[in-house]
Amino acid sequence: MTIQVLPHAEWAAARVSPAFVGLSYARETSPEVIVLDTVANCVILEDRAIMPGYVHAFDTLRSASLTPRESEAFIRRTMDNVALENEEL
């Protein structure tokens, strides 16, 4: 698993699609299923014709995000700052 942080300055990239998860069940690199969260439930999309749009959205978000190493440093700094603030209380 890789975690990448999307900086607030890149908010436009987050608007390329609604929140979704792409799942692959085998060793395929492209998703076999897209899961969209809705207010009441999840929608599972299996139509291969719609996958390229979600792959493009994912690539756009990944490109706009910090690298995994930069994301890790950001998360650690944030956690350290929260711990420091809690100690000052």
Tokens of 17: 């699609």
Please report the pLDDT score of residue 76 as a whole number: 95
H helix or E strand, kind and range, residue 21: strand 20-23
Q: How far apart are CA 60 and CA 80, in angstroms?
A: 30
Local mean pLDDT, 10-residue blocks, the chain (89 residues): 87 81 81 89 91 89 93 95 80
pTM flag (> 0.85): no
Please report the pLDDT score of residue 74 as a whole number: 95
Please report the pLDDT score of residue 89 as a whole number: 65
H helix or E strand, kind and range, residue 59: helix 51-64
Q: How far apart are CA 6 and CA 25, in angstroms?
A: 26
Expressed in percent and rounded to 5, the helix, strand and coil fractions of the chain are 45, 15, 40
- Residue 58 CB neighbours (<10 A): 18
